[in-house]
A and B are shown apart, each in its own frame.
Chain A
Amino acid sequence: MTRLPHLSQVARARLAELANRQLTGDEWQAQAAIPLTPDEIEHTLALVRWFRRRYPTAADRFAYVRRAYARWQRAALPPRKSGQ
């Protein structure tokens, strides 16, 4: 299993800031106008096929996302020192 790098609070905050940054109208228009490539479509559809096959119902998928998010949260935090 790939180990995620531990992220500092600052790095986590920065990532959240980038993801949540509101784009200007022009930025949005420019980015949204970039057409999807056939590879991008196929890659997305392959992910969807895998996800739906592995977790056939919406309830299964929600449960998976809850577990995955909790795992990601744990992995992204720095390791606890002994005694903490």
Chain B
Amino acid sequence: MRRRAFFVLRRDIRGSEAGSGGALESAPDDLQGAAWTSKRIILGVQGTEFDETEFFRRIGESGARALLIGRRALVALGLPVLTADYDFWVHPEDVALFNAAASPFGLVPSHTPDEARGRGRYVLENDEHVDIIVARFVTTVEGQKVLLEDLWARRVAVPLAPDSSIVIPCLDDLVTTKRFAARAKDLEDLRLLLALREGGGGT
């Protein structure tokens, strides 16, 4: 909750800097402080509303080669699994584009684009948590080299709203991404995806 209050407040300060602070800016200093304090408390308990559809729309419009992977991609296909995070695989050349698209939502990168490219991973975070793989390829637990450009060429767009869709790997490729980290929960997801594939059910 503290983190939430911080980011809401930060957004509000940005608005104030842009001239939308109204009477608050012209108040005496001591009153301004009091007003900020009360405003901060009110904003803190309100929390933020994350407009998921708008988030995906901006990413789509950014031109970044970014695939939604992980459990939220399973949800898009109709598998009822729980998750708190977003997982993306982003082309190394498109990290800045991706970050710019996420910026209006207060999502702050844990590393600069250069650092992220060096590490192969980074995080965007505020109330939401976005894990990002930054790589041209990832090797599966069985040693198979999986190229982002191949997955991108076979990508599937799932409609979210009339002007918005999310881009995920095709079902076969999503199965492959579950072999990247090879955690116990990936195995569960793998079986769900294989069952879905057996039933012929992509999007």
Binding site for B on A (CB under 8 A): 18-23, 25, 28-29, 31-32, 36, 40-41, 43-45, 47-48, 50-52, 57-59, 61-66, 68-69, 72
With A and B bound together, what is the CA distance between A82 and B92 in angstroms? 51
11 interchain pairs, CB-CB under 8 A: A22-B183, A23-B187, A25-B182, A28-B179, A58-B75, A58-B158, A62-B75, A64-B80, A65-B75, A65-B83, A69-B84
Binding site for A on B (CB under 8 A): 52-53, 72, 75-84, 141-142, 158-161, 166, 179, 181-185, 187, 190-192, 194-196, 198-199, 201
Closest CB-CB distance, A74 to chain B, in whole Å?
13
Closest CB-CB distance, B87 to chain A, in whole Å?
13
Closest CB-CB distance, A73 to chain B, in whole Å?
8
Closest CB-CB distance, A61 to chain B, in whole Å?
5
Contact among B141, B161, B184 for A18, CB-based, below 8 A? B184
Residues of the B chain whose Cβ atoms lie less than 8 Å from the Cβ of A19: 183-185
